[in-house]
């Protein structure tokens, strides 16, 4: 049960610390926070796994861990609101032990409604005043807990120091309605030590002598009226006497003297065979018996046995229906009470009441409060427990809500992470962080940065001849490759418009080698674009690029869908470099060339003076190669040694479209001579 796991957790944390408990959970395979839900039922194996993990890490035996836990269990139970109840159970240790079964029953069935298989305790007084304790359990191996619990309870509640020794331990197989199970029986000898009191006075085993010898005599009618729900059985567990109220719930024929008890009832607690010896072993336990045969089934069987003539069957059925109607409500009636061994030693009396703890249960069995004698505490229990059940139900609901909130918080954190990741993709991380903190992002001027535009020159010829989804697929494949290169080269992707891809170096973080970064990025983009297939010609796709360096103003524009935008003449010039570039080439301004050579080592090919729209004539250059890095390093792909050059720039140049055209022109030209 969750309370057990929580108390184990508290013991380990208080004794060894949080880090130790984290190691225990890791070894036991539990997720932190899921191992100690108070009202959750855990399997026995889960609990054994936790204890075994503690045992291995501490390098002690499992029995030592259980005994240590037993000592702490009393302390923790008293800390969590059970102190007054435990202290009020009995004035001495023997009475405490005799009432442990009823305490277990109250916790299991009334507080938590758990229906757990609790142990049973039975005491015997020895001539020297010591106590022989019989401990019965369906979970073998847990007896060290009993030693720890009783020693600590004796100290805290009764101010006693006791010694406990095991004088016997046996196991037997018990056949139950639910199947076979192993029952362990451990016998303890309990003595006091370090006290001036005798065992009789300290443990409560002294016999109290009564001077009043008056004998009260009750008639049979007085007795069955005073205890309307009692039963007396003999050594064969056959009915000898029953209370009068039972006749209102169980057919008279079943309550006849000599009827075996097990024919009428099945025992639901404790889980033992319904025979005389087993009852004596668990004599201190709270017994819950349930009617086995329903009144309706009994009436039908009685009708068949009677063998009545068919012409009288209908009349008798009407009479039977009236009886059945009054008895049907009491189907599977449960009785709860105490088994008492009579002084003769040959009979057992079962003093009991209907097992009802709330108004709905009372009505379910067709009962009213008047069915309970005034001296029966069940009346008060029903009324008081209504409020108790409401409180427990509310606590369960709150715990379920807390768990649901925790799951929702985790889901929210995951979604928040996705949102943050998306925001960082749309904006630079530093800018995104400012916006998350609610700060304004002012426009900033950069003295020098490098801007690059790339596009697909044949895009306008491709669009009319392809389906829209093919166009989307083409751009997605191309831009995904470009995005990968952006991450490798540590540049920043500004935006895409149609087939145009804009990137920048040196923004938002100032770096000296911003132009070198963009030049490497451009070489990689040209090479990677050729791995994309042109859907019209089924040939490698070719792009062109334009690069310019200069001052730039950058800032966030918009509130609903904020974008990080660049402004200034540098942006316009870079765009002109792209639009005036031949297919497959990287077209650079003179400023970009100088800036790239200030930190990197590149090969540029002069293009000469070019008439640039809106700018006039400008000296421009084609970027051919980097002497620092090979193409394969730039695109972060392995080179095929069988067919690729070492640096990859031969493959890059072979793909230049203008070079191919020039080769074709030279091949077809003829030399003329004039004589």
pLDDT in tens, 312-347: 444 444 444 444 344 444 457 889 888 999 988 899
Q: Is the model's pLDDT at 133 over the cut of 70?
A: yes
Strands (E), 558-658: 563-567, 586-589, 602-612, 616-626
pLDDT per residue as tens digits for the range 28-50: 888 877 766 666 777 888 889 99
Q: Report whether 537 contacts 491 (CB < 8 A).
A: no
CA distance 147 to 400: 35
CA distance 195 to 46: 41
pLDDT bin (cut points 50, 70, 90) of residue 500 is very high
Q: Is the model's pLDDT at 110 over the cut of 50?
A: yes
CA distance 263 to 420: 70
pLDDT per residue as tens digits for the range 524-563: 999 999 999 888 888 889 999 999 999 999 888 877 777 8
Of 104-108, 225-229, 510-514, give the lowest mean pLDDT range. Answer: 104-108
Q: Is the model's pLDDT at 661 over the cut of 80?
A: no
Of 48-62, 296-310, 397-411, give the lowest mean pLDDT range. Answer: 296-310
Which residues, 6 or more positions from 166, have their beta carbon under 8 angstroms from its beta carbon?
143, 186, 187, 188, 189
pLDDT for position 329? 42
Classify residue 417: in a domain, yes or no: no
pLDDT for position 658? 56
Question: Percent of the chain having pLDDT more than 90?
Answer: 31
CA distance 93 to 153: 9
CA distance 661 to 549: 30
pLDDT for position 206? 62
Q: Is the model's pLDDT at 17 over the cut of 50?
A: yes
Q: Is the model's pLDDT at 174 over the cut of 80?
A: no
pLDDT bin (cut points 50, 70, 90) of residue 664 is very low
Domain identity same for 145 and 278: no
Q: Is the model's pLDDT at 282 over the cut of 80?
A: yes
pLDDT for position 114? 62
Domain identity same for 276 and 367: yes
Q: Report whether 248 contacts 228 (CB < 8 A).
A: no
pLDDT for position 592? 92
Q: Report whether 298 contacts 328 (CB < 8 A).
A: no
Classify residue 659: in a domain, yes or no: yes
pLDDT bin (cut points 50, 70, 90) of residue 454 is very high
Domain identity same for 150 and 242: no
Q: Is the model's pLDDT at 467 over the cut of 80?
A: yes
Of 64-73, 200-209, 488-497, give the lowest mean pLDDT range. Answer: 200-209
More confident residue, 411 or 32: 411
pLDDT bin (cut points 50, 70, 90) of residue 350 is very high
The CATH number covering residue 274 comes to 3.30.450.260
Q: At what angle do helices 18-28 and 44-58 cross, to 10 degrees?
A: 120
pLDDT per residue as tens digits for the range 255-281: 899 999 988 898 888 878 888 988 888
Domain boundary, last residue among 168, 184, 209? 168
User: Average pLDDT, whole number, for the chain?
Assistant: 82
CA distance 456 to 110: 77
Domain identity same for 516 and 655: yes
Classify residue 620: in a domain, yes or no: yes
What average pLDDT score do residues 57-81 get? Answer: 91
Q: Provide the domain count of the chain.
A: 3
Classify residue 132: in a domain, yes or no: no
Tell how strand 563-567 and strand 444-455 pair up. Answer: unpaired
Domain identity same for 163 and 249: no
Classify residue 20: in a domain, yes or no: yes
pLDDT for position 613? 85
pLDDT for position 552? 92
Classify residue 88: in a domain, yes or no: yes
472: containing domain? 441-668
Longest CA span, the chain: 163
Tell how strand 586-589 and strand 544-557 pair up. Answer: parallel
Domain identity same for 163 and 234: no
pLDDT for position 660? 41
Domain identity same for 514 and 575: yes
Q: Report whether 602 contacts 519 (CB < 8 A).
A: yes
pLDDT for position 284? 82
CA distance 338 to 283: 8
pLDDT for position 307? 52
Domain identity same for 458 and 548: yes
Domain identity same for 154 and 237: no
pLDDT per residue as tens digits for the range 413-449: 888 888 777 776 777 777 777 777 777 777 889 999 9
pLDDT for position 326? 41
The CATH number covering residue 588 comes to 3.30.70.1230
Domain boundary, last residue among 357, 375, 393? 375
Q: What percentage of the chain's residues is helix, strand, coil (to nearest 5)?
A: 45, 20, 30
pLDDT per residue as tens digits for the range 246-259: 888 888 888 899 99
pLDDT for position 169? 92
DSSP symbols for 498-557: TTEEEEEESSSS--TTHHHHHHHHHHHHHHHHTTSBPTTT-SB---EEEEEEEEEEEEEE
Classify residue 278: in a domain, yes or no: yes
pLDDT for position 252? 87
What average pLDDT score do residues 513-527 get? Answer: 93
More confident residue, 429 or 590: 590
Domain identity same for 469 and 608: yes
Q: Find the distance separating the first CA and the last CA of the chain, reported in whole Å.
A: 113
Domain identity same for 518 and 661: yes
Q: Where are the alpha helices (DSSP H) in 44-190?
A: 44-58, 62-77, 83-87, 93-98, 100-105, 143-158
Domain identity same for 496 and 611: yes
Classify residue 510: in a domain, yes or no: yes
């Amino acid at each position: 049960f969750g309370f057990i796991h929580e108390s184990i957790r508290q013991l380990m944390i208080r004794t060894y610390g949080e880090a130790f408990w984290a190691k225990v959970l890791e070894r036991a395979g539990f997720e932190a926070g899921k191992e100690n839900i108070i009202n959750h039922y855990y399997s026995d194996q889960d609990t054994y796994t936790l204890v075994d993990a503690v045992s291995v890490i501490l390098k002690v035996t499992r029995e030592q861990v259980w005994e240590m836990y037993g000592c702490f269990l009393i302390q923790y139970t008293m800390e969590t609101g059970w102190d007054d109840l435990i202290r009020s159970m009995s004035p001495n240790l023997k009475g405490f032990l005799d009432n442990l079964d009823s305490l277990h029953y109250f916790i299991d069935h009334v507080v938590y409604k758990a229906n757990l298989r609790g142990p049973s305790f039975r005491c015997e007084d020895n001539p020297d005043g010591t106590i022989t304790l019989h401990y019965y359990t369906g979970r073998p191996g847990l007896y060290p807990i009993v030693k720890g619990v009783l020693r600590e309870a004796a100290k805290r509640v009764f101010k006693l120091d006791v010694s406990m020794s095991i004088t016997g331990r046996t196991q037997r197989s018990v056949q139950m309605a639910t199947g076979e199970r192993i029952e362990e029986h451990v016998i303890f000898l309990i003595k006091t030590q370090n006290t001036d009191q005798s065992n009789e006075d300290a443990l409560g085993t002294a016999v109290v002598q009564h001077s009043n010898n008056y004998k009260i005599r009750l008639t049979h009618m007085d007795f069955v009226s005073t205890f309307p729900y009692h039963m007396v059985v003999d050594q064969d567990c056959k009915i000898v006497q029953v209370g009068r109220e039972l006749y209102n719930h169980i057919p008279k024929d079943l309550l006849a003297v000599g009827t075996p008890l097990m024919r009428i009832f099945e025992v639901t607690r404790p889980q033992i065979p319904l025979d005389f010896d087993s009852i004596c072993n668990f004599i201190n336990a709270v017994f819950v018996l349930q009617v086995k045969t329903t009144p309706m089934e009994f009436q039908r069987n009685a009708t068949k046995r009677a063998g009545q003539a068919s012409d009288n069957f209908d009349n008798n059925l009407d009479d039977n229906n009236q009886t059945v109607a009054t008895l049907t409500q009491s189907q599977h009636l449960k009785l709860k009470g105490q088994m008492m061994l009579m002084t003769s030693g040959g009979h057992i009396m079962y003093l009991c009441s209907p097992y009802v703890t709330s108004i709905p249960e009372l009505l379910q069995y067709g009962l009213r409060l008047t069915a309970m004698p005034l001296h029966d505490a069940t009346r008060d229990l029903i009324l008081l427990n209504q409020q108790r059940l409401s409180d427990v139900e509310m606590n369960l609901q709150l715990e379920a809500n807390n768990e649901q909130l925790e799951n929702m918080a985790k889901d929210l954190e995951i979604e928040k992470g996705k949102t943050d990741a998306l925001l960082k993709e749309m904006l630079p991380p530093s800018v995104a962080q400012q916006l998350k903190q609610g700060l304004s992002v002012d426009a900033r001027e950069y003295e020098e940065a490098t801007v690059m535009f790339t596009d697909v020159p044949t895009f306008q010829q491709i669009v009319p001849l392809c389906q829209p989804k093919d166009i989307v697929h083409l751009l997605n494949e191309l831009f995904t490759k470009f995005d990968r290169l952006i991450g490798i080269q540590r540049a920043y992707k500004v935006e895409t418009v149609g087939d145009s891809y804009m990137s920048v170096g040196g923004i938002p973080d100032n770096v000296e080698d911003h132009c070198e970064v963009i030049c490497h990025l451009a070489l990689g983009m040209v090479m990677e674009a050729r791995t994309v297939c042109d859907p019209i010609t089924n040939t490698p796709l070719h792009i062109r690029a334009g690069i310019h360096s200069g001052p730039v103003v950058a800032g966030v524009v918009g509130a609903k869908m904020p974008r990080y935008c660049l402004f200034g003449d540098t942006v316009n010039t870079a765009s002109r470099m792209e639009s005036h570039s031949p297919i497959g080439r990287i077209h650079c301004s003179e400023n970009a060339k100088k800036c790239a050579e200030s930190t990197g080592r590149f090969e540029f090919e002069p293009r000469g003076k070019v008439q640039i729209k809106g700018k006039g004539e400008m000296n421009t250059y084609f970027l051919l190669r980097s002497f620092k890095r090979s193409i394969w390093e730039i695109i972060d792909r392995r080179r095929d040694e069988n067919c690729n050059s070492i640096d990859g720039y031969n493959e890059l140049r072979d793909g230049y479209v203008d070079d191919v055209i020039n080769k074709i022109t030279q091949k077809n030209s003829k030399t003329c001579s004039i004589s």
